[in-house]
Amino acid sequence: MFPGAGNPHFFAEQLAEGLSPWKVPEFWLGWTNEPNHYQDVTGFIDMKLKALAEHRSQLQGGVLGFFEEWLPAEAEENGRKIGVQHAEAFRVLRLG
């Protein structure tokens, strides 16, 4: 992840594996108050909730139930903004 991805000293062990530093072209921030990009995620809400459910230690006390209600509703609201069933909102920062 930026800024470590472009620094050859940050992941030195990967140089030995033949990998090269990579310049991160953009950074996507989720759950932002100022989105400038909406990504169509139609067809992936169930998969996202299933993946989220695997984080048991972070979802104690019924927190998953909140996400099972909120996440699809949020995705539908964002989807309407770009004419799809479900979308996620991001603030995309272009770095170069």
Whole-prediction pTM: 0.80
Phi, psi of 41 (to 5 degrees): -120, 20
| pLDDT, tens digit (0-9, with 9 covering 90-100), for 33-71 | 999 999 999 999 999 999 999 998 888 888 899 999 999
8: number of CA atoms within 13 Å, CB side?
6
| pLDDT, tens digit (0-9, with 9 covering 90-100), for 62-96 | 889 999 999 999 999 999 999 999 999 999 999 87
